[in-house]
Structure formats: C-alpha cells, structure tokens
Amino acid sequence: MRLGLFGGTFNPIHIGHLRAAEEIREKIGLDRVVFIPSAIPPHKNIPLPITASDRLEMVRRAVADNPFFEVSEVEIQRQGPSYTVETLQYFRKKRGLQTELFFIIGMDAFLEINTWKSYGELFELSHFVVLARPGSPHALGEFLAGHIASGYQHDPVKKRYCHQELRTVYFRDVTSLDISSTGIRGLVNRGSSIRYLVPKTVAEYIISKGKYR
C-alpha cells in the first residue's frame, strides 16, 4: 500500500490542492491520498470566525466525490498545535510496515521544513513528494544538502533524491494553478466570486454560512 498524506491549513481547500493531489496520486502511483487539516498551525494565525470543524467540513465536501481521497481528523483531534512528526508517527504505527508513506508538500512549505519540530525524524518516517509552485525556485538539492543531511543522490531521470539511511524525496511538477487560500479569503471578503476556484460544495458552504466576510 502506497499512502499519500497531504497536510495543510485548508483555509479553505481549493482546486490547487485538489488537482495537485490528483496528479501526484497518478504520477507516484498512490493507492489513496489522505487530506489532513491541521489544528492550531504553529506557523500561521487563523482568523477567528473559522473553526477547525469548518475547515474539516469543507475538506470533507471537497473530497467526497473522489474514491481515492479521504480525510483524517487526527491533527484536529489531537491536543495542542499540529506537528507533522507526530502525525507521521501516528500513521507509521497505525499502518505498519506494509504501508509506504508519501508526505505531499508544496515547495514553499518544504523550504521551511527545517523550522518544524524534530524535522530530521520526518525524513526517516516518510518519503516526501515536493510540488513545484508558481514562482518557487527548484533549489531542492542545495536545500537538502544544506539543511537536512549530506548524502542525498540526485536521480534526474526518476526525479528524486535517494539516501542510504533516509527515505526518498521526490520532486514533481504539477499543473500550475496560482490559487491560494489567502486569495480566496480576500475575494470572499470583498464580495467577489470564488466560483471555479473551489469545488461548488465548498463555495456553497462558505457563502451560506457567511464565512470569510
């Protein structure tokens, strides 16, 4: 079993997230992708009127029609801030050795991973799939050597970095959709349309509940 894990604030989830997950599922050959909305993100301040259960419900609605996608409440149910290392330990323990974990992450977020709790351990627990995002530089090899560990071997054909002791870091381009949750919140706040940027069911949730106004 090859299990994708896609963490994020998802405030709100948008088609940039969904399309990236779908392309990575196909390209890496994942059996499933689990979306994991974070609780209190250590790196961002969430505007108050949006609760964790709002974000969770929007992710639920967004993935409902894709049989390969599912949602995990593990971070939202855990006490305190969400640390990816604890989430990866949880999935490792829960799924056992038959399951290979692939943590999916945007390049922008990956280039800050050396500020995350116990970041070295992340690379023992799970493979990483790093997504290119519009405007992000592709300095992955330099970043790994400078901030994670020496000894990564670049395999340009398979677009990955392999290591003797650590799991593999894959690098994949996905269709560039320059959409962000920040941008969507701004549109709603200004009373503009978010149609075609988020799934219809998510737009309906946001508008009907008056979120991000």
Of 141 and 183, the one with the shorter C-beta distance to ligand ATP is 183
| Interaction of residue 9 with ligand ATP, rule CB under 6 A | yes
* Of the residues 3, 8, 30, 83, which one makes contact with ligand ATP according to CB under 6 A: 8
The nearest distance, CB 39 to ligand ATP, in angstroms, is: 13
Of 52 and 179, the one with the shorter C-beta distance to ligand ATP is 179
Of 109 and 145, the one with the shorter C-beta distance to ligand ATP is 109
Rounded Cα–Cα distance for residues 113 and 143 (Å): 10
Rounded Cα–Cα distance for residues 2 and 61 (Å): 24
Phi, psi of 211 (to 5 degrees): -75, 150
How far, in whole angstroms, is CA 128 from its chain's centroid?
Answer: 11
126 residue type, one letter = S
Rounded Cα–Cα distance for residues 24 and 184 (Å): 23
Q: What is the largest CA-CA distance in the chain?
A: 52
The nearest distance, CB 109 to ligand ATP, in angstroms, is: 4
Residue 47, both tokens: 């505007």
53 and 61 Cβ atoms separated by less than 8 Å: no
Contact code string over 106-145 relative to ligand ATP, x by CB under 6 A: x-xx---------------------x-x------------
The nearest distance, CB 192 to ligand ATP, in angstroms, is: 16
Task: Give residues in contact with ligand ATP (CB under 6 A).
Answer: 8-11, 16-17, 20, 105-106, 108-109, 131, 133, 174, 177, 179-182
